[in-house]
Amino acid sequence: MLTLICGAKGSGKTSRIIDKANKDVNAAKGDCIYVSDTERYMYDLDRNVKLVDVGQYGIVGDAFGPFVFGVMAGRSDLTNLYIDGVSRITGKSPEDLKDFYTKLAEIAERDSIAVVATVSAAADDLPDYLMKYKII
């Protein structure tokens, strides 16, 4: 299942996704991974949530999708995935990320992975294709 945390820049999306990860890790039956482009929040995350800083791997732009899908494929015990800043990392707006979100939701559903991603836009301003996902 794909869940989106929406809001304008500076609206607290990162705090909300970190809080969600820290809450979910206690009930998770597998691995929890938090993907971001910074290590700044390393000490805010529960120690059982694995932080992956894509900046350490030089992942930007169109390389982000394959990287995330590789993380999902490479961890058979992955149950929870948190992605903070998709637009910031890819340099694309939510309107331009339809293929990424569609594939992400497909894989999450097929492999029973709870995915939460932040989207830098108000819920009312989301592209139509994102409206079918759970928005918090």
Amino acid identity of residue 22, one-letter, is N
18-42 pLDDT per residue, tens: 999 999 999 999 999 999 999 998 9
- Give the ranges where the chain is alpha helix by DSSP (H): 13-24, 64-74, 86-90, 98-111
Alpha-carbon distance of 119 to 77, in angstroms, equals 26
- Residue 100: CB atoms within 10 A of its CB come to 21
93-114 pLDDT per residue, tens: 999 999 999 999 999 999 999 9
Domain ranges of the chain: 2-135
- Whether the per-residue pLDDT at 68 is higher than 90: the answer is yes
Q: What is the pLDDT, as a whole number, of residue 50?
A: 96
Superfamily of domain 2-135: P-loop containing nucleotide triphosphate hydrolases (3.40.50.300)
* pLDDT category of residue 123 using cuts at 50, 70 and 90: confident
